[in-house]
Structure 1
Amino acid sequence: MIVNLPKKDDPFKEDIEKITRELANQSFPELDENAQKEHFEKIKENLPKFEEEISELIDSLKTDILSCDTKQILDYFSALYSFSTPDTVTEDMDSDRSFKLDYLHSLITAIGSSNSKKCDEKILRNIDETLEKLKMQSLLYLMFTSDFNGEPNQIKFLQSLHHMVVRGDSYSEHKIQMCKELFSKFDEVLKSKYNITSNDLIDELINIANYPIKNLEIQKKYFDEMMMAHKGFVQQAKQIHSEEESASFLEQYKQSDSLKQTNDKLQKIYDETGVSLNDSIFKIHETSLPREILEQISIKLGENTDFQNGKIEYFPTNNTHIYDKPIVKIGEEYYCYNSASMYFNLQSLLENILLDTIPPNKHQKNYYKKKGEYLEDQSLELIQQILPGCDVYKNLKYGIDDEVDGIVIYDNHIFIVEAKSNKFTLGARQGDINKIKRNTKDIVEKSYQQAIRAKKYIISNELVEFRDKNKKTVLTINRYDINNIYLINATLEPLNHISSDLSSLKEFGFIQDDEWIWSIYLNDLRIISEIIELPSEFLVYIERRIKYNDFPQIKMAEEIDIFGYFLSEGLYFDDIDFPKSGFMLNIDSSFSKNIDLYYHWKEGALNKVQKKPAFFDGCKNNIKFLVEKIENTNKKNFSILTKFLLSLDCYTHELIKEQITLIIKSQRTDFHTYIDNANIGVVFVSKRIYTYDQLYQQCELYAYERKINNWFVIIIGNDSVDFEQFYYENKPSELLEEKVAGLKEYRLLQTLEAKKKLGRNETCPCGSGKKYKKCCLRK
């Protein structure tokens, strides 16, 4: 039986192609280069007024902050912007609370204040409203000032925008895990100066970050005891019927055992915790951090003077020390007003502590070299977790003196891995184009050139050799055994929109070969390794992920947004006719929301269990079970078949699963399907009737008929799956022409005969996949 794939409705594709047709029928005058510059200059003429308005908002904030108690302001807004409940965490994920708290933190530590006057609600409300206005005005200002050499520059704008409003690059468990893995290599250095290991140091920094929650729990104990005492007091007071009794009752209550017991319980809480009822929940009462480290990561009010420096004083993207010094020191007391910042900046905090310990002339040898080695090892290890059974080779040499960080071989796929642990510097993060260019050259372009060179070497000869550091040949590759070569650039810092839109680097003269590399932040790779269920899913993802760079009209902000879109929608755009110009499709982060919710649930932020996202999760009757069984055969070229199966849509998965069920039930002997543009056909056959020669001839006939060269036979048993692969040249043949004609005649007769016997609701034998009543019955 042959199964043709019916045309499936694709609203997304239809909408895009409708837009393409409409744009083709319209004529839009294009601004010439001079007109564009003139338009841009008019915008810049109004910038002084715009800058003045922003300065007025900042002055308003300064006035309000200086008018009352700084600690009260920090307490109030840290509580307002930091805490989420299980009911609000989803909403809070999309909010700008972190930006507001960071800005307030920077401004207060920059201007300082000794005012102890209590803040009224009006001042606090005004600060909140002004922060919102400042955020919106600042975003517009970044848009208008994101130019380079006198012309608007998208890279600068997107990077400046990201630096201003986006916080965090990893889920907390991954950030902690990465830091513990990396900095454990420097335990001897830390122990020699501070008598503390990296794990203990990290645990104590996290302990400090969690202080507000712990203090809040202690405050709750106080209130619980007080509420119980109040409840007893009210019950006793109900017995009072006169003023005389009231006065007597109050005197007796002051001397009562119940009040004494309550006071004793409150005192016990204090004795056990050292936290008083009136303490700020953000106060750090005790810590095992060495005093020198605590001072290094603390800032006093008025010390953040760099934040003032900039074209606009105290502008949100000005340099600030709050990320290197997240603890606020007021008098002799320490406060953690921004717990999230401790998590977000854990890696840089540890790096600063370590580099302060190592003499500058030994930084390269004793830190940066080991940092690079960690990235190489960990990125290869994560790929190995995704592709179990793959062969991994590290630090190879080839040619005269060329090197490659790693090569991974999985079936007929090669992954060339180049790891770059260079920093994406503050200036680059702030949008400085020259620094972005310099940093991305070191991180991406050098990896790209090294990986391209290794690929060209592999395909240069039938057999190529790679050596280890001792010049011993450890890997020989036959290029005819390889079906795909993928280039991977692993990074230790996220490049955000740059890695998700590598085409933007072409303006720097980078990525010039007719080839793409996958630039991936280590912790994003970690997420993918934890969510991907089958190796073949990863093969489909990396193939489509690299191909995604061919569609600069489609914009997604970060890697996990792209990965989330893959899990949900497939990340396949090849069959869509996009407009050639004047069109851009921004896909928001909603497709990664399920990934966020899953990890927030794992971290304990959500009560409701969140299912781990999965590829084909929305397709109940998918054939991933079949893909897994084929993978387990580990036969040569199995991944060509598994990638093909995973590339089929949900409707086809359901159809194949239905036919497999019929084969197992002995209600069908075989069926086959194919995709012309993939040049692959697949025959499903029952194991009980399988013979190699018969299937070879049958596939030869299908191959000649469809002009498809590659054919796979999937052999279905009751509890087993196997496959064979055939390749046909499909050269002209009179014999095969006659057989194909006979096959077509047989199918026609079969269909006509079936019309007499088939039930209305049975699958039509013509191969449409539709029910008989909706297909050939009408003909």
Structure 2
Amino acid sequence: MLEKLKNEREKIKNEIEKLINRYDPKYVLSYIAFLYHFDSNDYSKVTYLLREKPILQFLSGVYLKNNNYLIKKPNLKKIYRLIQLTSKYLDLFVFSKYLETESIPTHHIELLKQINPEIYQFQLEDFIDNVFLKLDPFFINKFGFSINDAIDFGKKIIKKIEEKFNDKKEQNLQVTLEDICKIFTLKKDEFNFEGIKDINKLEKYFEFFSCEFGENKNYNSPLDENIIFRKPLIHLKDDEYLCLLPENLIFRFPEIFEYILNNEKTNQTKVWQQYKRIKSLYVEEKVYEFFSRIFPKKNMYRNLKYEKDYEVDLLILFDNKILIVESKSGILTKKALKGNEQRLKTDLKKLTEEAFRQGKRVIEYIKSSKSATFIRKSGKKLQIESSNYSSFYVINVTLETLMNLATNLKELQKFGLFSENEFPWSVYLFDLDIITRHVEYPSIFIHYLKERLKAQKENIFQSFDELSFFAWYLEKGNFQVETLKNYEKPDSIILHSWIDIFDDYYLNGGPPPRLKIENEILKIIKALENVGTFGFSDAISMLLKFDNSTRNKIIEYMNEKISKTKTDHKRHNFLIINKDLGVGFLFVSQYGKQELRERLYYYSNLLKYKYQVKKWIAFGKDVTDKKEYINEFVYLNYPWEYNYELEKTCENILHLSKQ
């Protein structure tokens, strides 16, 4: 079957190359670029294909192999034929590669990276400003223009292409192939009046970022190095250039810069060492910045040392939980992305499993003693009492977008990684940036983390990015999977296009994505975090596990009991038992705070035994307090068993308090 697929694949590729040889590349590629960038019919089959597969990118690479094409103008039917053939070729390429290897197919990742930048422009600009600009002297000395010049020229080219398109659109005339070709064709003198003072720099920029037909002669597969990504400007003749993928002048800049540093890397020069250090520090700084949006800085500890000079990048202490965060600034090598199993295993071990091992070592150290000692950079000691913490989470933040290699870590067990069936939460740095912008309270983040790790183990949800998982959570509030008609769980749920809510917000000014939850529940969460009694985050997680119907009942009954207490100054309560979750819920309202916590505690214990549930949540409200939605709470979590002594104690205390 594999040989048959390969033969079919190569047959289609030969047909593609024959078609290409017959027609002028500037017309063929310009029209495809026009559909790719400007076709407003997002539901058309052709537009969908171009935006889901690297068709334009592949055809550009194939065209750049030779320099002896005919100048014949194609008709649209031939161009559409070329698009369909390339789509079929890419499908066969992916499928045959999948059958070729028993390991995880990374070729799909590399192909997706060719279409979609995994970063928003404001994030990219921050990355460039704080990493690459620090190497500006090296760049200027080597190429004659600065990094800021490169970004500025790139933006001007994008703007120029958009202006040309808008001019044609405003004329409201039928757009011909000649017109479309002019949209993507540039001349250096077009920028003479664009505020560019140093034309010499512009000349050097065009020279550096342009390629020639014939320069991509070794390009034979979609995974081969494609010159169009390093040099997005195609030199046509004299002073004319074709720019089919103008966004690559901006979004591919980090990749282009790393390519420039290849020599420095080979020779391990000071510039390369400086770059590695800057990049690593950037990741650590950003991880701290992003988490500090959620957690109080007083709960966060950076660059700690402990026994035998081990280090931990970041510890976050919150309630009875510890988050251990390890950052990795390395990348997947080209060999790994092309499917070299040993190289992929080595890379992933460094980027994911190593971080998890480091985190596990911290957990074991804390658990092994009553009081674990960590040393800060200042030399001050941080003492952690192990008895105060019941839950530990390892978070692995990477600068490389690992796509489905990170979102489905269970799959890496094929390589012998994560053999203990335990996983960290592995997240791309810039996905973490977005997630932390849309989490309102630390306890909600903790709940997401718990749900996400549970989904990781079940391995039903599939996605190439973490933001799709987060978008699902914002909509659903969990990763519970509904059973099918035969009472079995589905084999997989593909989170296709869930990321669109973030694109809509960051690219189109849509509404900010947020957790779909009742405002009163958010007030309860805020109140519980303010009360700060040990275990409050567990109580919040349990509250978030309730479905909307139960939460709405809680809100309704709470308001009803509070209103009654305000009127008659008497104590009122209600309870809800959820047998599916094995949890009971109690609410008590009273006038004044006296004995409120004690009453909640003993009443909860009594009811817990009575209803034989494992977990119990109780909220108490002093109606004289106008600020807080809740004043006290109790959370009990242990298996039910009959205890005569406790039952009698609870009854006696509650009886005395009534008197």
The verdict on how the C-alpha distance between 1:555 and 1:375 changes in structure 2, with shifts beyond 3 A counting, is same
The answer on whether the counterparts of 2:584 and 2:616 sit within 8 Å (CA) in structure 1 is yes
The verdict on how the C-alpha distance between 1:698 and 1:378 changes in structure 2, with shifts beyond 3 A counting, is same
- Answering whether residue 513 of structure 2 is matched by residue 613 of structure 1, we say yes
In 2, distance between residues paired with 1:525 and 1:643?
Answer: 21
Residue 80 of structure 1 corresponds to: 35
Matching residue within 215, 219, 224 for 1:318: 224
The answer on whether the counterparts of 1:147 and 1:153 sit within 8 Å (CA) in structure 2 is no
Matching residue within 517, 521, 524 for 1:623: 521
The verdict on how the C-alpha distance between 1:281 and 1:529 changes in structure 2, with shifts beyond 3 A counting, is same
Structure 2: state its 5+ residue gaps.
Answer: 566-570, 655-659
- Answering whether residue 64 of structure 2 is matched by residue 127 of structure 1, we say no
- Answering whether residue 25 of structure 2 is matched by residue 61 of structure 1, we say no
The verdict on how the C-alpha distance between 1:728 and 1:393 changes in structure 2, with shifts beyond 3 A counting, is closer
Residue 774 of structure 1 corresponds to: none
Matching residue within 172, 178, 196 for 2:127: 178
In 1, distance between residues paired with 2:381 and 2:43?
Answer: 51
Instruction: Show the 5 A alignment for 1:675-690.
Output: 681-688=584-591, 690=593
Instruction: Show the 5 A alignment for 1:357-506.
Output: 360-389=268-297, 391-469=299-377, 472-506=379-413
Residue 212 of structure 1 corresponds to: 161
Match of 1:303, SS?
A: coil
Matched AA of 2:511? K
Shift of 1:217: 4.2
Matching residue within 600, 604, 611 for 1:695: 600
- Answering whether residue 210 of structure 2 is matched by residue 298 of structure 1, we say yes
Shift of 1:51: 3.9
Shift of 1:540: 0.9
The answer on whether the counterparts of 2:528 and 2:536 sit within 8 Å (CA) in structure 1 is yes
Matched AA of 1:441? K
Residue 535 of structure 1 corresponds to: 442
In 2, distance between residues paired with 1:132 and 1:438?
Answer: 37
The answer on whether the counterparts of 2:468 and 2:498 sit within 8 Å (CA) in structure 1 is yes
Match of 1:403, SS?
A: strand
CA deviation string 1:569-626 (max 9, x = no partner):
2333389699999972132314333233223313xxxxxxx2222222xx56762232
Matched AA of 1:306? N
In 1, distance between residues paired with 2:71 and 2:601?
Answer: 89
Give the number of aligned pairs: 625
In 1, distance between residues paired with 2:490 and 2:481?
Answer: 17
The answer on whether the counterparts of 2:229 and 2:248 sit within 8 Å (CA) in structure 1 is yes
Shift of 1:643: 2.0
Matched AA of 1:56? N
In 2, distance between residues paired with 1:390 and 1:508?
Answer: 40
- Answering whether residue 643 of structure 2 is matched by residue 732 of structure 1, we say yes
Match of 1:589, SS?
A: coil
Match of 1:323, SS?
A: helix
In 2, distance between residues paired with 1:489 and 1:301?
Answer: 43
The structure with higher relative contact order (CA 8 Å, sep 6+) is 1
TM-score (norm 1): 0.72
The verdict on how the C-alpha distance between 1:141 and 1:184 changes in structure 2, with shifts beyond 3 A counting, is closer
- Answering whether residue 609 of structure 2 is matched by residue 704 of structure 1, we say yes
Shift of 1:520: 0.5
CA deviation string 1:668-692 (max 9, x = no partner):
8222345568776543222525432
Match of 1:623, SS?
A: helix
Residue 657 of structure 2 corresponds to: none
CA deviation string 1:627-683 (max 9, x = no partner):
123324445433222222222211111111111221332268222345568776543
Instruction: Show the 5 A alignment for 1:756-771.
Output: none
Match of 2:227, SS?
A: coil
The answer on whether the counterparts of 2:325 and 2:395 sit within 8 Å (CA) in structure 1 is yes
Match of 1:714, SS?
A: strand
Matched AA of 1:736? E
The verdict on how the C-alpha distance between 1:335 and 1:157 changes in structure 2, with shifts beyond 3 A counting, is closer
Two-structure CA RMSD over aligned residues (Å): 3.7
- Answering whether residue 632 of structure 2 is matched by residue 723 of structure 1, we say yes
Shift of 1:323: 1.0
Shift of 1:63: 2.6
CA deviation string 1:500-552 (max 9, x = no partner):
11011112111123421111001111111122222222111111111112113
The verdict on how the C-alpha distance between 1:196 and 1:531 changes in structure 2, with shifts beyond 3 A counting, is farther
Match of 2:426, SS?
A: strand
In 1, distance between residues paired with 2:44 and 2:519?
Answer: 30
Shift of 1:107: 1.7
Matched AA of 1:658? E
Residue 568 of structure 1 corresponds to: 475
In 1, distance between residues paired with 2:484 and 2:365?
Answer: 35
Matched AA of 1:50? E
Shift of 1:460: 1.3
Matching residue within 168, 186, 191 for 2:117: 168
The answer on whether the counterparts of 1:703 and 1:728 sit within 8 Å (CA) in structure 2 is no
Shift of 1:444: 1.0
In 2, distance between residues paired with 1:415 and 1:647?
Answer: 21
In 1, distance between residues paired with 2:489 and 2:556?
Answer: 45
The verdict on how the C-alpha distance between 1:622 and 1:457 changes in structure 2, with shifts beyond 3 A counting, is same
Shift of 1:71: 2.5
Match of 2:228, SS?
A: coil
Of 422-431 and 543-552, deviating more is 422-431
CA deviation string 1:237-278 (max 9, x = no partner):
xxxxxxxxxxxxxxxxxxxxxxxxxxxxxxxxxxxxxxx999
Matching residue within 543, 564, 580 for 1:645: 543
The answer on whether the counterparts of 1:684 and 1:714 sit within 8 Å (CA) in structure 2 is yes
CA deviation string 1:69-124 (max 9, x = no partner):
33233332222221244x7499999543462211222122222346444x142xx4
Matched AA of 1:725? V
Matched AA of 1:494? T
Match of 2:499, SS?
A: helix
The verdict on how the C-alpha distance between 1:382 and 1:80 changes in structure 2, with shifts beyond 3 A counting, is same
The verdict on how the C-alpha distance between 1:125 and 1:390 changes in structure 2, with shifts beyond 3 A counting, is farther
In 2, distance between residues paired with 1:701 and 1:466?
Answer: 41
The verdict on how the C-alpha distance between 1:72 and 1:571 changes in structure 2, with shifts beyond 3 A counting, is same
In 2, distance between residues paired with 1:462 and 1:91?
Answer: 63
The verdict on how the C-alpha distance between 1:114 and 1:704 changes in structure 2, with shifts beyond 3 A counting, is closer
The verdict on how the C-alpha distance between 1:409 and 1:700 changes in structure 2, with shifts beyond 3 A counting, is same
Shift of 1:391: 2.1
CA deviation string 1:136-159 (max 9, x = no partner):
2331243133246xx644535654
The answer on whether the counterparts of 1:211 and 1:336 sit within 8 Å (CA) in structure 2 is no
The answer on whether the counterparts of 2:210 and 2:234 sit within 8 Å (CA) in structure 1 is yes
The answer on whether the counterparts of 2:373 and 2:383 sit within 8 Å (CA) in structure 1 is yes
Structure 1: state its 5+ residue gaps.
Answer: 1-42, 228-275, 308-313, 603-609, 744-779
- Answering whether residue 50 of structure 2 is matched by residue 145 of structure 1, we say no
The verdict on how the C-alpha distance between 1:700 and 1:586 changes in structure 2, with shifts beyond 3 A counting, is closer
Q: Percent identity?
A: 24
The verdict on how the C-alpha distance between 1:480 and 1:675 changes in structure 2, with shifts beyond 3 A counting, is farther
CA deviation string 1:178-213 (max 9, x = no partner):
333332433454456667664454343333333311
Match of 1:498, SS?
A: helix
Of 700-709 and 504-513, deviating more is 700-709
The verdict on how the C-alpha distance between 1:589 and 1:139 changes in structure 2, with shifts beyond 3 A counting, is same
Of structures 1 and 2, the larger Rg is shown by 1
The verdict on how the C-alpha distance between 1:365 and 1:152 changes in structure 2, with shifts beyond 3 A counting, is closer
In 1, distance between residues paired with 2:298 and 2:160?
Answer: 44
